[in-house]
Chain A
Amino acid sequence: MTAPIYARLLAVLGLLLLQRQGGRRFIVAGATPDWFATFFPALASPDEAIEPTTVFPMLDHFLDDAEPFWAARAGGELRSGLWAETAPDGTDRHFEAIACQVDGSDFLLVRQLTAGFEQIQQVYQKGRELSLVHERLVAEIGKKEILLHCVVHDMSGPLTSMMGSLQIAKHEVRSAEAKCMLDLGLIAAKRQGNLIDDLLDSFRAEIIAPEAIAADPATAPDVLACAGEVMAMLQPAFTVRGVKGEVVPTDGATALRVVAEKSRLERIFHNLLQNAMRHSPGGGKVAVTFRVEDEFVRVAIEDEGAGVPPDVVPQLFQKFVRRGTSGGKAGLGLFFCRITVEQWGGTIGCEPRPGGGTAFWFRLKRL
C-alpha cells in the first residue's frame, strides 16, 4: 500500500515520475498528475512505454545531458531549467525536469510549475518592465542634455556680439555714470559667458568621449605656470572683493608638467579660484599650493571662508550641487572639475583647512 500512496502523492504535487527503460523510452511509475492527459492523451495503457521527447522537444536537449549523468552513476540530481509548452486550450504551462537515480534505476521527474512559479514570473516581469522604463529615462535625459547643449551654444553667439557692442559703447560715451552702467553690463555679460562655458564644458566632458591626452613632457602644461596665469587674470576681481590671491610654488620648483590639457586645466583653476574667492571674507587670503607626491602633483586651493557644511561634502562634485548661496552659480563648475580631472586619471576632493576655511585639491600625474 505504501508505494501507491507515495506515487499518488507525487501526482498530487504535479510531478510525473518516469522510469527509464533504455534510450529515450520511459514508463510512467505510479499515478499521473492532472496535466498528463492534456499533453499525452494517446496513452493506451499505464504500462505502455512513452517517448516524452516527442511531446516535449525541450527534453531532447535535456536528455543529451541526462544520459551521461545517469551513466556516471555519481548520485545527485540534474535539472533542466524552465521551459514552457502551449496546451491545446492555448494557455502556456511551465515545466521543469529533474534526472536522478534510485537503486540503480534511472528516473526522470517532470514537474508542472504553478503557484510558486507565478510569483517568480511576476518578479521577472516587473524587473524587466522597470529595466525598460530605466532605459527610456536614460535615453530621454540624453536627448534633453543634447537639446540643452544646443540652446546654450546658440546663446553664446549673441552674447559675444553684445559684449563687443558694450565695449565699443564704453569708448564712445563720455558720461562717467554711463561708463559705470556699461561696466556693470559687461560684468553681467561676462558672468553669463562663464556660465555658458561651464555648461558647454560639462556637456563636452560628460557626453563626448574623452580625448586621448598625450603624455609628452614637451607639450604637457606646466601646472605652476597655469595657476599663475589664471590668478593674474582674476586679480582685478580679487582686488574688488578685497581678497588676496597668491600662488605658492613648492621647494623652489620652476615647472611641474602634468598629464592634462592646458585650456581645460585653466578652466579648472578658474572655477576653483573663483569658488574660493566667492567664499572668502573681505581681507582674507586664497593660496594655491603644490606638493609632489610620488608620481603625482597635488594642487590645493585654500580659502579662509566659513568652510563647507559636512552634509554637502559628499555631493559637492555632483551636477547642480552648490557649495553655498554666494555667487549664484549653476552648480556645474565643480562637476566639470571632477569629470575632467578623472578623465586625466587624477582625483579631486576637498577638506577643511587647518586654521579654518576649505582646501579644494586635485592630483594629476606628473611627467
Chain B
Amino acid sequence: MIQKKICLLGGHAVGKTSLVAQFVRKKYADTYHTTIGVKVDKKVITAGATEVSLMIWDLAGEDDFGPAEVSYLRGASGYLLVLDGTRRASLERALAVQQRAEEKNGALPFIVLVNKVDLAAEWELGDEDFSELAARGWTLHRTSAKTGEFVEAAFQALAEEMLRRP
C-alpha cells in the first residue's frame, strides 16, 4: 500500500468538509460548520491494482478573515479545488487560491469540483464559466456532498491522476 497526501482547497462554505465527510464517513450534515485550521482524515482506496491510503487534508477556506494556508500542500501529491456552483464569489476565491498554491508548491495534479449540484437550479455559475476553466486544461466535475453524486469518483479520479504522474 502506498500513502498519498491530498488537500482540499477553495473559498469558505463551498462544502470541502462535507465532501470529506461524505467520502470518508458517508455522512452529510445540512448545517454549516466552519473549519478552523486544518483537519486530516484517512481513507484507503484502490486505484487500478494499487491500494492507496489517502491522507486527506481539509484546509480552512479562504475568506475575508485570511487567505487559505497553502503551505499545507507541502508533501501533497495533488489537490481538489472546490467551488460552490450557487456562489460566483467562490470561483474568484478558488482562482486566487489555485494561483497561490501553484506559486508556492509548483504544479501539482488537481481536479476542480463544482459542488452543490443538488442545487443546480440556483447555480450562478454556468457553462461559460466552466468552458473558461476547461480552456485552461483543468478537469471539472459536478459534485454534491449532500447526495454523494460523483464524490467517490472525484477522489478516485484524483488518485488515479496522481498515480499516473512519475
Contact = CB atoms under 8 A, between A and B. Distances in A.
A54 to B, nearest CB: 11
Contacts of B102: none
A88 to B, nearest CB: 13
B102 to A, nearest CB: 19
A329 interface: no
B72 interface: yes
Contact of A131 (B37, B63, B72, B88): B63
Contacts, number: 61
Interface in A22-79: 57-58, 60-61, 64
B37 A125 contact: no
A263 B63 CA distance: 41
B33 A125 contact: yes
A295 interface: no
Given A57-B55, A81-B69, A135-B89, A128 B63 contact: yes
A84 B16 CA distance: 15
A139 interface: yes
Given A84-B37, A124-B34, A131 B64 contact: yes
Interface residues of B, number: 25
A154 interface: no
Contact of B124 (A124, A125, A131, A139): A139
Given A57-B55, A124-B34, A139-B88, A92 B39 contact: yes
A121 B64 CA distance: 15
Interface centre among B32, B40, B124, by most chain A C-beta atoms within 10 angstroms, is B40
A81 B71 CA distance: 12
B38 A83 contact: yes
Nearest to A90: B25
A94 interface: yes
B75 interface: yes
Given A61-B72, A128-B63, A83 B32 contact: no
A81 B69 CA distance: 10
A245 B69 CA distance: 63
23 contacts: A58-B40, A60-B75, A61-B72, A81-B69, A82-B37, A82-B38, A83-B38, A83-B39, A84-B37, A84-B38, A85-B39, A92-B39, A94-B36, A127-B64, A128-B13, A128-B32, A128-B63, A128-B65, A132-B13, A135-B87, A139-B87, A139-B88, A139-B124
Interface of B: 12-13, 32-42, 55, 63-65, 69, 72, 74-75, 87-89, 124
